[in-house]
Structure 1
Amino acid sequence: MTGTPRLPSVHPRVARLSIRARLMLIGLAGVAGALLIGGVSLYAVLTTSLGRSVEGTARASAEQVALLVDAGRVPDPVPVSGSQVVQVLDAQGRVVAGSVTADRMTSLVTPDELRRALAGEQVVVAGNRSGLSGRLQVVVVPAGAAVPSGRQYAVVAAAPTGDIEQSARTLRTLLLWIFPLLLAVLAAIAWRVIGAALAPVEALRRGAERIDESSSETDRLPVPPTRDEVSALATTLNAMLDRITVARRKQRAFVADAAHELRSPLASMRTQLEVAQRLGEGGDLPTELLADVDRLSTLVDDLLILARAGDAAATRRSSEVDVTALLADVAGRYGSARVPVGTAPGLAGRRLLPRAVPDDLTRAVTNLVDNAVRHARTRVVLDATSVGHQVEVTVTDDGHGISAADRERVFDRFTRLDEARDRDSGGSGLGLPITRALLLRSGGDVHLEDASPGVRAVVRLPANP
């Protein structure tokens, strides 16, 4: 047993985003993560490398001085390069010798720092201990083992870390500024690239939006020239439209054939009932049956018109129609209607010439007037005006009205509203669907509006250029 396939659940906030936005966010999240990992790794490697370089320079200086101490030659001051600080301490931690930049009285490191440095730990001290700014990377090398006196010394060498810290700050600043800017540039590029990739999908959507009941059977979705998933989707959808078209054609043919075949027996039944009525046979039965036969004949005629209206092969050429004269003629036919049917004041002075199929437009307006007369309380008013590049024809009644939720549903076939669309009111549920089908064939459309009280049917037709 097959059922509706279940799609993966998506967070409501994510579901509100377009596919383009989702793809861009996913891509940017991946790029941002990669940049973050790369930036942190670069920062760690660079700072570690620079730190080892400074430590190596200080250790080299300390080892050179330790060789001098081992040789029994301790120059004073101790020669150093740059702003390094070098002190030679005895076993009691007193300064024996030092560089020009070093304090001759106080050791640069505390006994605990000296012990940790000798153990190989990284020791950083404040530069103000030696009258310098910033911080100092300290390296301690033991010396004096080769001295005849056997005295033990410790060579303390310190190198400033200001350059390392400045480089680290510069790198952090660059990363904090460059990464967002790079992400913004990548977001703009990704938005354009994803938009271009999804352009065939948007073309499919627009094409599908244009296909409706008024579309020709040859109207199909555009197939991209590529051989990707979008092209396969377009081909599949067009094949589905072909199947739907065949099914619709068969349905119309069946309705048209059935309606056509029913007309002959209904005509025969009408003739026999009329003969029986005139001869006085059957009592009141012929009169009662004639009403049902008339209703069936009207229904068959409506079905036949609806089937032909939806047939693209039966589409007729439109021409210029004088709407003012048409509305006046239609209103004149309803002189004996249950409510007055008239035209709006000033309509006679307007010259409105839309393009439409004349017979279709006349039938559509007549259907709307029939519907309005059936439900109006006191009057029905016909009017027409020019709106932009369209001509708008209105049929307004002051009846009970139609709720907003039902104003589109009444254009579905055989739709009957509980309040007004019952069998005894004379409506078959096909008048409004036929009206819309005929107007679509003429390039127009119809919808209902609230007239407070009542309903206004609004017909829009293309104006004659």
Structure 2
Amino acid sequence: MTGRRLTSVRAKATLGATLVVAVALVAAGIAVLLSLRDNLADQADAQADGTVREIGAQIAAGTPYRRLQLPDGSDHPVQVVDEDGRVLAASEDLERISGTGTPGVTPVPEPGADRDDEPDADDPGTGELGEATRHSTGRATMDGDEAAYRFAEVEVTDARGETVVVHAGAPLETQRDAVRTATTVMLIGLPVLLLVVAGVTWLVTRRALRPVEDIRREMAAITASEDLGRRVPEPGTGDEVARLARTTNETLAALEASVERQRRFVADASHELRSPIASLRTQLEVGAAHPELLDVPGAVEDTVRLQRLATDLLLLARLDAGEQAGRTRIGLGALVRETVAEQSGDRPGDRPGDRIVVRVEAEDGVEVAGSRGQLARVVTNLLDNARRHARSRITVTVREDGGRALLAVSDDGAGVPAAERERIFERFVRLDDARTRDEGGAGLGLAIARDVARRHGGELTATAAEPSGGARFELRLPLDG
């Protein structure tokens, strides 16, 4: 059960959403921490800048080094060194320093008493404070406490024209405390937030996938019961799940219709086969008992009927199995002439001993791609159907029409009622029920013709023939090239 839950869509969605949020939160947290650290470092730089420039201004104004007003406390260690690296001034509590380039913390006595007095009259009176400020990170020990600092450095020319360097620091402990606090909060809050995301995702996906589970359960019941009349529930949400349910029901309806059509096909085929088989058996049994009464022509006729029916059923089975049409280039006019000639036993339009005249009006150059045998079968079936209903004349037309190949077979018979022009293409459907089976056929010819037409990318339809009022069957196929 656990393995099944881990492989469910809901578990995968929850895990995926949690991972995505976790990655996003970690990335955002790192960005926040880096930004916080940089901002606090900038603040420390600003504090150090203020201190170092304030002290540099005092030196530039001529204030003696031992009288410099340095910041009290341990927040801002100060160190003033000359170009030789000697310490001229330093914070009173400064015990150790690193990061400034000069480790000394004890001021060196300057030669000459006047160095610590007011400037002489000969002195220029004021020095110059440098513009550039450099920053570095180091450590300092103030009154026994060691801490990290951000140091600012500026060069100053004092009142005597000597250049000194002033270092002033600002503590980084506040920055580091803030970063540690933010990191701790994120480490505590991240798992909690991920648990909330996982829980919400689990509940939302459960609610969203509940109709899918209902569909699955109903499909399992349909499979177990083999009742194709049942349908899955369709939620009224109008979303993808609702469309899935609607499509599933449409598929079930199509499958039900297909199965029903198959059942009718098997029943009709059995019925159609029973008649010639029973007739043939009767004749053979009579012939076996009374050879002189054997109706050989009748037995041959029943055998031919049985053979034709078996051929039709096999062709329909191949078409239902998805047999694809070939890609042979076929001249449609030549195919019609050959088929008519084969059926008449002579040339087209000339049928000795038959009152039905077949006239062929075929344009040259009308070519299609497909199976020559299957298309010849369509022409044969249309001609056979026309012969059963025509009074005296059949017209076969082949031409190009609207960018497609058109093959039309018209007769001068009674025609097909408008309400029946689609039903006649169903299998085992015959409108002339009064006919004998020998005359009317099994009702498969037009069904085969339409199936073949559709597998060639075309369409077969029935209309009324003008001006005779008979039937007109039009086969439209894509032109080859």
Please give the range of the TM-score, normalised by the shorter of the 2 chains: 0.3 to 0.5
When you count strand as a share of all residues, which structure comes out higher?
A: 2
Q: Looking at CA atoms only, which structure, 1 or 2, has the larger radius of gyration?
A: 2
TM-score using structure 1 length: 0.47
The TM-score, its normalising length taken from structure 2, stands at 0.46
